[in-house]
Amino acid sequence: MQFWRSQKFLLFMAISAVALHAGGTLHAAGPALPDPAASAVGATEQQTIQTYVAYYSKKMADADNSKQMVRARGHILRILHETGHPASAIFLNSYGAIVGQEFSPLLSNPKTALNAVITIAQIDDISTQAALEDGLSNASPAVRYWSARGLGEILPQLAAIPPAFHQALRRLEGALKVEKDPIVEMSMCHALVQASPGVPYLFSTILHVLTRLTSTYAKQPPATLPVCRMIVDDLAGLAAHGGVLPRNLQVAALTELAQIMSFTAQYNQAGLLSRHQKLVAFDVISSCGHAMDQVGRTEDFSLRQFTSQSDPAAILLHVNHLTGSQNQPGKLQSLFAKLPIPARIPSK
């Protein structure tokens, strides 16, 4: 987890991966712009794309700092997202294939690997499948995270091509078996859930990942709460998709969800979350309540009366009523008598 703690804003860069407003408009002195609305891509158009993408992949490779790399990434992605018309499927397929081809070599360089994989993942087209699959075995957990995230985005498209779809699933499942970083595991699990929401083993896999997360959460809140919320929502979806869970799985899942809910509420009330963490803290708490309802087949853990603007102390008081606090049992213990009460966070 140390890698992710030292990269506090990595996921918030993910949310705004194509944003570089300081860079202004597309570089006027650069190569000719391809036409993303093109309904056909002939030899001339293909060469225009090749020249354009190669120019900015070289810019990234030669960059002296991350700002220059982000600028190169912005040029590749803006052409898809900041034009008058959405990119055509034909253009996107050719463009994605060339982006994968030109930027894949940059994944082997620690200096450029992160920006390169974000560029590839943000294309959101099946033409990037090979590059993203290769990224799953990269030495950098951040690159593996983005590779899994990118594959998850294109799996619905790949479903129309069974051989490619099943290959992507096999690569994700294989990578998940050997993955050691819990945040990367979450990203891989999320991708698999989107593709196969009814697969029973995924519930136990997500539960294992959440257990690893909560083992350190009481000492230090994760800097990756958006990913935490994502995987909690996946757990809720899996619980709702199937029948009633065996009691041992219910207890195990509720234990982890209660700890995440309680720890987040405690840190929020104590003012120990960063500005970015505070923005998503209530959403995480609320998602845990929803997941607990799905797992326990109840309607007891919703936080409908609260919003993100509610008093953090009031939210924590309500959470304590649900999960238990110190020696005082909560609603969870009335349903599952042996379910542990969440620990207290260290005083700071």
Q: What are the extents of the domains in the chain?
A: 1-196, 201-348
* Whether CATH 1.10.3470 fits 1-196: no
What is the arithmetic mean of pLDDT over 158-175? 94
User: Quick check: 143 pLDDT over 90?
Assistant: yes
Q: Indicate whether this model's pTM tops 0.85.
A: no
The pLDDT, as a whole number, for residue 16 is 39
User: Quick check: 93 pLDDT over 90?
Assistant: yes
CA distance 54 to 103: 8
The pLDDT, as a whole number, for residue 307 is 92
Between 86 and 275, the higher pLDDT residue:
275
Contacts by residues 9-17 (CB-CB < 8 Å, ≥ 24 positions apart):
9/223, 9/276, 10/142, 10/223, 10/224, 11/223, 11/224, 11/226, 11/227, 12/276, 13/118, 14/118, 14/146, 14/149, 15/226, 17/73, 17/77, 17/118, 17/121, 17/122
What is the arithmetic mean of pLDDT over 218-244? 84
| Structure token digits, residue 187 | 């990203």
Per the DSSP assignment, residues forming a β-bridge with 328 are: 325
C-alpha distances in Å from residue 283, one per residue of 187, 304, 306, 324, 344 = 18, 12, 11, 20, 21
| pLDDT, mean over the chain | 87
Per the DSSP assignment, residues forming a β-bridge with 325 are: 328
User: Quick check: 2 pLDDT over 50?
Assistant: no
Q: Per-residue confidence at 123, pLDDT binned at 50, 70, 90?
A: very high
Contacts by residues 160-169 (CB-CB < 8 Å, ≥ 24 positions apart):
161/126, 164/126, 164/129, 165/195, 167/129, 167/133, 168/129, 168/133, 168/195, 169/195, 169/196
The pLDDT, as a whole number, for residue 37 is 87
CA distance 238 to 7: 30
For the CA atoms of 13, 19, 22, 24, the dihedral, rounded to the nearest 10 degrees, stands at: 160
User: Quick check: 258 pLDDT over 90?
Assistant: yes
Report the percentage of the chain scoring pLDDT > 70.
Answer: 89
pLDDT, tens only, 291-321: 999 999 999 999 999 999 999 999 999 999 9
267 contacts: CB under 8 Å, gap ≥ 6: 221, 273, 277, 281, 345
| Structure token digits, residue 77 | 């992605």
Report the percentage of the chain scoring pLDDT > 90.
Answer: 64
Distance of CA 23 to the CA centre of its chain: 26
